[in-house]
């Protein structure tokens, strides 16, 4: 088991009072010293050297105020000559580094100091040399931080590798067709035919009208703007095709109307 020093820096173990046989400073007789002494002012905070549980606290004529903490493996650490009774209750759990008491000068003492013992059990005298377990001042254990795991790129399994093609949006602006001028040679006159009113129309006139509409359609289609800044070549071809189809259907409608009038005029 490894223990932290229960006393703070810069205090050290008194080399004249090590663990083992020594001359007692009060009686002057040779005796066995069951712990180590650390000189420190009254009121110096003392910590728990390891995780454990408060097993005993009290006072006596020799040791003054006493605190005993039980650790893993039934090891016990003992504090003597405390300033006052520990604020920790019996049975309380303590962590390494928790302040558990303050040093003092109570009991059989020649000056302010801490008498510290390490026992194999709670029984008095069943001690070991504390220096073989002490590892120095208390230091907080570093918290392990794990680097973030790299995130895998999104899977492309099942996705098509073909590029996405977007169909261009074409907006066509209808142009107003120019008004057809009236020509004297194209004017039809109303005549009386067999007592019924009608228009004198021949098959030749119908074909001439269709040809005239086709030429007019070509003229309008060729008059569309050809610059790339206004419309693209693709849009121009679509517009011309739509205009030509419109005029063709218009011409066919006109031809149908003329045929109807012609048939009516021939009715007896």
User: To 5 degrees, how large is the angle CA 160–CA 166–CA 167?
Assistant: 135
The verdict on 108 and 34 lying in the same domain is yes
Tell me if 75 is assigned to some domain: yes
Q: Are residues 118 and 24 in the same domain?
A: yes
Query: Is residue 78 a part of any domain in this protein?
Result: yes
Q: Could you list the residue range(s) of the whole structural domain that residue 252 is in? A: 184-265
**pLDDT tens figures, 13-68:** 998 888 999 888 888 888 999 999 999 999 999 999 999 999 999 998 889 999 99
Number of domains in the chain: 2
Segment 202-235, tens digit of pLDDT: 667 776 777 777 777 777 766 665 555 455 666 7
Residue 176 forms part of a structural domain:
no
How do residues 102-129 score in pLDDT, each as one tens digit?
999 999 998 999 999 999 999 988 999 9
Distance from chain centroid for Cα 34: 59
**Domain shared by 194 and 115, yes or no:** no
Question: Could you say which of 91, 109, 132 is where a domain stops?
Answer: 132
In CATH, what number is assigned to the domain containing residue 125? 2.70.70.10
211 and 126 together in one domain: no
Residue 166 pLDDT level (bands cut at 50, 70, 90): low
Q: What is the Cα–Cα distance from 3 to 135, expressed in whole angstroms?
A: 6
Residue 188 within a domain: yes
């Amino acid at each position: 088991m490894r223990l932290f020093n229960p006393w703070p820096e810069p205090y050290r173990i008194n080399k004249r009072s090590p663990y083992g046989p020594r001359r007692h400073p009060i009686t002057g007789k040779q005796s066995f010293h069951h712990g180590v002494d650390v000189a420190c002012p009254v009121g110096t905070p003392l910590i728990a050297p390891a995780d454990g549980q408060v097993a005993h606290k009290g006072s006596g004529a020799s040791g003054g105020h006493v605190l005993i903490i039980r650790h893993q493996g039934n090891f016990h650490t003992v504090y003597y000559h405390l300033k006052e009774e520990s604020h920790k209750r019996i049975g309380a759990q303590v962590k390494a580094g928790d302040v558990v008491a303050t040093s003092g000068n109570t009991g059989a003492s020649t000056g302010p100091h801490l008498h510290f013992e390490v026992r194999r059990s709670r029984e008095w005298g069943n001690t070991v040399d504390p220096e073989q377990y002490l590892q120095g001042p208390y230091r907080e254990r570093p918290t392990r931080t794990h680097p973030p795991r790299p995130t895998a790129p999104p899977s492309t399994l099942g996705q098509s590798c073909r590029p996405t093609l977007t169909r261009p949006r074409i907006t066509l602006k209808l142009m107003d067709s120019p008004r057809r001028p009236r020509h004297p040679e194209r004017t039809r006159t109303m005549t009386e035919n067999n007592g019924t009113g009608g228009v004198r129309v021949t098959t030749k006139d119908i074909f001439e009208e269709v040809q005239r509409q086709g030429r007019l359609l070509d003229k309008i289609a060729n008059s569309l703007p050809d610059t790339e800044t206004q419309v693209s070549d693709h849009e121009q071809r679509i517009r011309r095709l739509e205009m030509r189809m419109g005029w063709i259907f218009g011409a066919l409608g006109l031809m149908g109307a003329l045929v109807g009038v012609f048939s009516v005029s021939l009715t007896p």
